[in-house]
Amino acid sequence: MRKIEHIGIAVKDIEGSNTLFKSLFGKAHYKIEDVESEGVKTSFFKCGPNKIELLQATKADSPIAKFIEKKGEGIHHIAFAVDDIEKEIKRLTKEGFKMIHEKPKKGADNKLIAFLHPKSTNGVLVELCQEIMD
């Protein structure tokens, strides 16, 4: 893993949260994107060299909707940049980590993604992200 790619924050109202985080960071989000396969709308902010991803559910049965129902708004996951996501999934599986996604899938912000199950990472939902090369 090369670095923290972003921190994901589950929110109920992405527009209201965009206003809040704009005030916090002193600048507006740089991208809003719907990820239909995950039932989520995302908004990205740059904060120094780091990124913050706001996530709002677009479907009642989406993982974000379930998270907010169970835990409320707040930090949802930490994402790490990797060079070769398939190789990293194999390595982590061999090390005994449980994967939510055995194969990477397309996510927001031009990334291939895969999540590790929080039961194998001390309760932290970890996302692997690999830049998609066009």
Q: How far apart are CA 34 and CA 113, in angstroms?
A: 15
Give the model confidence (pLDDT) of 7-46 as tens digits. Answer: 999 999 999 999 999 999 999 999 999 999 899 999 999 9
* Cβ partners under 8 Å of residue 8, min gap 6: 53, 54, 55, 75, 76, 77, 78, 79, 127
Q: Measured in whole angstroms, how far is the alpha carbon of residue 51 from the centre of its chain?
A: 10
Whether the model clears a pTM of 0.85, i.e. scores above it, the answer is: yes
CA dist., res. 107 & res. 69, Å (int): 23
- Quote the tokens at residue 17: 């949260």
User: What would the mean pLDDT of 52-57 be, rounded to a whole number?
Assistant: 98
